[in-house]
Amino acid sequence: MGKNAGELKLAYGAGGGARTPALTLGHSGKNGKASHTVGATLTRSDPTTWARDRERALGPDGALRELRETSSAYERRFTAVNANARLSWAFSEGDSLSWQSFFNDGRSRGTEANRTETFAGPAYPYPEMPAHFAIDNRSLRTELALARRLQGGARLDAKLGVNAARSERFIAREGFRAGQLVLDSRDDSSIRERGVTSTGKYLVPLIEDHAFAFGWDAGCGRYRQRDVRGDCALAGAAAVEFDNGFAATLDRLAVYAQDEWDVRPGWSIYLGARWEGVRMHTTGDGFAPARSRYHVFSPLAQTVWKIPGAKGDQLRLALTRTYRAPPPSNLVPTLFHQTFNTEVSPDFVGNPALRPELATGVDAAWEHYFATGGLVSVGASSRAIRDFIRSTVTYDGARWISAPINQGDAQVRSLSVEAKLPLKTLGVDWPLEMRANASRNWSSVDAVPGPGNRLDRQPRWSANLGADYSGRTIAGGASFSFASGGWTRSSVFQSRYGAAMRDLELYALYKFSSLRSLRFTALNLLAPDRIGASRYADARGLRESETVGASYRSWRLQYEQKFSPR
């Protein structure tokens, strides 16, 4: 006996001169013990935006040495196709086999118009710099999963996956000075990635009230990247040829064990340990073969205690040791050049000697659950980080270089409050739910003097407020989020600034029936400008770059149609 159901979504959005149509199709069905799900989404977008960059340099006496401003206008056309498929078979005794795949294809074309005006100091070499670009990204991931029930109540879950990705980027830049062509530059970049992954978990009931599990997570990846740049010799300048390529192999293996122990009713303890080893080998043009290798042991202990006599109240306490591995791009010692090299626009080179960040922490929380579905919680955490990773800028005698390093130790502490309250929790019979959360964070990096020696992109304050109404025919809601900004000092000489983030979103949903609905969403209603800055100050003076970018209000209308099973 078979059952089939379908889904159709038609959407159209606009904002800031951009139009964003989208089409989604889906189908699912079942025939005996076999079932399937397939789906695909097609989207298009053509945003236009602008940015303004102001760079200035001061001497050690505070006198103005350089001042220039660059205005940029961007136009982009983006098309993407996302598709997925899943097939599964159910066997006797609870065994199952499934296969699923995901495919993504994104293509982007666009232009830039950059105009630089110099108010003090030497003139920028390319006062007018138009450019056009083409970017193509494709990826495919497929996975086979097996679930088996074994004797004695044991269970085995295993997955084997294969992935491949390809990225092509082309950028053509021209530079004009007094109407004369002085720069003709072409950049070609290609990235190839492929890999195999295997994960699994074996659950076995060895002792009463204990749930033991053993597992693995292994992978082997191959990366290949090539960047080719050519600048023609114009207006007396020398020709530049740049050909950078590298190939990397990344192997990793993780094994873990865990035990969930119900000590007594209302009190449970979770104990676990994980070992992971990573090995990376890189070869390329312009550098000797590089090897990176590290391994990490991560224990974990957590307990949950439901407070006797306090219905719905419980306490959580966890002791953790986690790690954050550096991305492969940060380990490759290939140099990537900037068109105009300064302290605030440096070249970038990877560091094969990077070690992973290790964080030892404690988390505690009190939670209260209401019978009507509400929640109130208060949590606190503290973490000590070793081998904190951050990019710093240095001068090699010819150019400014940014490279990631292990900067030393850092500390992080946070306090958070969360509430989710349906009105029926307060005795009001109305389908409205209110939600809110707020957090306060403190951090410091030992290797950097204050003030502002905190972690990158960690707001001191953040909060979210929202409400959702869920009527039978009409539904709607609103959400507001806030994250504080400010200066972050990343080294003795470097500082970065990020503006506070504020976002307001509204939505309304009208249900024609249980199968048809229309949703309207208004996004980024506050539309704040995107502001950032970078500063480098030493005994030779100060150089600062400030960027202001556009942000637009937008809306989206989506019609959803479900086709009932048959």
| pLDDT at residue 1 in the model | 39
| pLDDT at residue 430 in the model | 87
Pairing of strands 155-177, 128-149: antiparallel
* Spatial distance between the Cα atoms of 110 and 116, rounded to a whole number of angstroms: 20
Beta strands in 210-344 (DSSP E): 210-231, 240-264, 267-284, 287-306, 313-324, 335-336
Block residue for tokens 């789906």: 39
| DSSP code per residue over 184-211 | EEEEEEEEEEEEEEEEEEEEE--STTEE
User: What is the distance, to the nearest Å, from the Cα of residue 268 to the centroid of all Cα atoms in its chain?
Assistant: 33
- Give the residue among 505, 497, 459 at the shortest CA–CA distance from 481: 505
Q: How many residues does the chain have?
A: 566
CA 415, 420, 425, 427 torsion-angle sign: positive
In this structure, what are the phi and psi dihedrals at residue 236, rounded to the nearest 5 degrees?
85, -5
User: For 352, left (φ over 0), alpha (ψ -120 to 50), or beta?
Assistant: alpha
Long-range contacts of 323-327 (CB under 8 A, 24+ apart): 323/276, 323/296, 323/298, 323/356, 323/357, 323/358, 323/359, 324/356, 324/357, 324/359, 324/389, 325/278, 325/356, 326/354, 326/356, 326/389, 326/404
- Give the residue among 445, 382, 440, 385 at the shortest CA–CA distance from 413: 382
* Spatial distance between the Cα atoms of 193 and 141, rounded to a whole number of angstroms: 11
Q: Tell me if 184 sits within 8 A of 232, measured CB to CB.
A: yes
- Give the residue among 443, 433, 535 at the shortest CA–CA distance from 484: 443
Q: Tell me if 179 sits within 8 A of 168, measured CB to CB.
A: no
Q: If 0-12 CB within 10 Å is exposed, 13-18 middle and 19+ buried, where does residue 422 land?
A: buried
* Spatial distance between the Cα atoms of 98 and 59, rounded to a whole number of angstroms: 66
| pLDDT at residue 238 in the model | 63
Tokens of 131: 């450019």
* Spatial distance between the Cα atoms of 178 and 128, rounded to a whole number of angstroms: 9
**Residues β-bridged to residue 467:** 434, 478
Tokens of 316: 């959580």
DSSP type of residue 425: G
DSSP type of residue 124: P
55: how many CB neighbours lie within 10 A of its CB? 22
| pLDDT at residue 207 in the model | 83
* Spatial distance between the Cα atoms of 184 and 109, rounded to a whole number of angstroms: 19
- Report helix, strand or coil for 356: coil
* Spatial distance between the Cα atoms of 410 and 180, rounded to a whole number of angstroms: 52
Provide the whole-model pTM: 0.87
Tokens of 21: 């149509």
Q: Tell me if 293 sits within 8 A of 299, measured CB to CB.
A: no
What domains sit in the chain, N to C, each tagged with a CATH number? 2-563 (2.40.170.20)
CA 366, 370, 371, 374 torsion-angle sign: negative
| pLDDT at residue 415 in the model | 98
Residue 451: asked if its preceding bond is cis (omega within 30°), the reply is yes
* Spatial distance between the Cα atoms of 216 and 200, rounded to a whole number of angstroms: 5
What is the full per-residue pLDDT of the chain (566 aa) written as tens digits?
A: 357 889 999 999 999 888 999 999 999 999 888 999 999 999 999 999 999 999 999 999 999 999 999 999 999 999 999 999 999 999 887 899 999 999 999 999 999 999 999 999 998 888 999 999 999 999 999 999 999 998 878 899 999 999 999 999 999 999 999 889 988 889 999 999 999 999 999 998 878 888 899 999 999 999 998 888 888 867 666 667 777 888 999 999 999 999 999 888 889 999 999 999 999 898 887 778 888 888 899 999 999 999 988 788 999 999 999 988 888 778 888 777 787 889 999 999 988 888 999 999 999 999 999 887 889 999 999 999 999 999 999 998 889 999 999 999 999 999 999 999 998 877 788 899 999 999 999 999 999 998 899 998 889 999 999 999 999 999 999 999 999 999 999 999 999 999 999 999 999 999 999 999 999 999 999 999 999 999 999 999 999 999 999 899 999 999 999 987 66
| DSSP code per residue over 361-413 | EEEEEEEEE-TTS-EEEEEEEEEEEES-EEEEEEE-SSSEEEEEEE---EEEE
- Give the residue among 419, 393, 423, 424 at the shortest CA–CA distance from 407: 393
User: What is the distance, to the nearest Å, from the Cα of residue 208 to the centroid of all Cα atoms in its chain?
Assistant: 41
| pLDDT at residue 236 in the model | 61
Q: Tell me if 13 sits within 8 A of 554, measured CB to CB.
A: yes
Integer-rounded Cα radius of gyration of the chain: 28
